[in-house]
């Protein structure tokens, strides 16, 4: 797919080297955007993705940045602006999932969950808003688990994704006067290398799916691309679920 709905726009995707993040990078590039994305450890995948976009005629920048590090997040935003001259779209996709029985859940895992799933979103949004103008778009990647957590051990993860709902609503009030929208996309189970659709874990969740299957990363990316585009200008402060009926 090659359209021009995002021609002239510059996008930064936190956590964009694989899975849903990589699909978002590809889709926004296909829509005409210049794309920068962060990664932590998947250097080979990041370089492969960047090179593929460049080879197809796009512009891309891969930035190694830990989303648990406030300084690294701010540097990634500023590096994007310095390289491409502006910033129009921010997608906060970086996230971690720690699952353990309550009695065994480690405090360091709890703290990391908050640092990456919530704190990094606030920091990146705060920094990006300094560079965005009218028509800016910020899109957080939450989870349907904010509304439904069907298995034990996932309380801190569900809490972190529920926190994004409130954060998105509150920040919509701050950003609206600048002409910037902010929304929260809540995927259900999606087929990725970290959560493959053919795993035993996936089998345990399949019964919750109204459509009887896991989602595809491209389906999430298409939803993000719509929110990043001009037709979504009247949507802000919303948490929008795309979960195949998982929470129905």
Residue 132 gets the label, from left (phi > 0), alpha (psi -120 to 50) or beta, of beta
Count how many residues are written for the chain: 248
187 and 144 in contact (C-beta within 8 Å)? yes
221 and 23 in contact (C-beta within 8 Å)? yes
Tokens of 223: 């939803």
DSSP for 67-94 reads TT-HHHHHHHHHHHHHHHS---EEEE--
Instruction: Give CA–CA dist 20/28, Å, rounded.
Output: 12
- Whether residue 157 lies in the annotated active site: yes
Catalytic: which of 39, 157, 214, 226?
A: 157
164 and 122 in contact (C-beta within 8 Å)? no
90 and 128 in contact (C-beta within 8 Å)? yes
Where do the DSSP E strands lie in the chain?
10-14, 34-39, 60-64, 89-92, 137-141, 181-187, 239-242
* Residues belonging to the active site: 157
């Amino acid at each position: 797919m090659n359209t021009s709905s995002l021609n002239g726009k510059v996008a930064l995707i936190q956590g964009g080297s694989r899975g849903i993040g990589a699909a978002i990078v590809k889709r926004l590039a296909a829509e005409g955007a210049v794309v920068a994305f962060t990664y932590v450890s998947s250097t080979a995948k990041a370089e492969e993705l960047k090179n593929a976009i460049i080879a197809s005629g796009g512009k891309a920048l891969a930035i190694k940045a830990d989303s648990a590090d406030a300084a690294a997040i701010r540097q990634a935003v500023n590096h994007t602006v310095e390289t491409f001259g502006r910033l129009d779209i921010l997608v906060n996709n970086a996230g971690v999932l720690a699952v353990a029985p309550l009695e065994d859940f480690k405090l360091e895992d709890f703290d990391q969950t908050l640092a990456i799933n919530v704190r990094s979103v606030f920091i990146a949004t705060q920094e990006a808003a300094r560079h965005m103008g009218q028509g800016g778009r910020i899109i957080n990647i939450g989870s349907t688990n904010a509304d439904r957590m069907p298995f034990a051990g996932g309380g801190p993860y569900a809490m972190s994704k529920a926190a994004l709902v409130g954060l998105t609503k509150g920040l919509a009030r701050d950003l609206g006067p600048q002409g910037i929208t902010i929304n929260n996309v809540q995927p259900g189970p999606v087929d990725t290398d970290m959560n493959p659709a053919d795993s035993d874990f996936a089998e345990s969740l399949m019964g919750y799916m109204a459509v009887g299957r896991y989602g595809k990363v491209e389906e999430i990316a298409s939803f993000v691309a719509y929110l990043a585009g001009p037709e979504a200008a009247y949507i802000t402060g919303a948490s929008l679920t795309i979960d195949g009926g998982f929470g129905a």
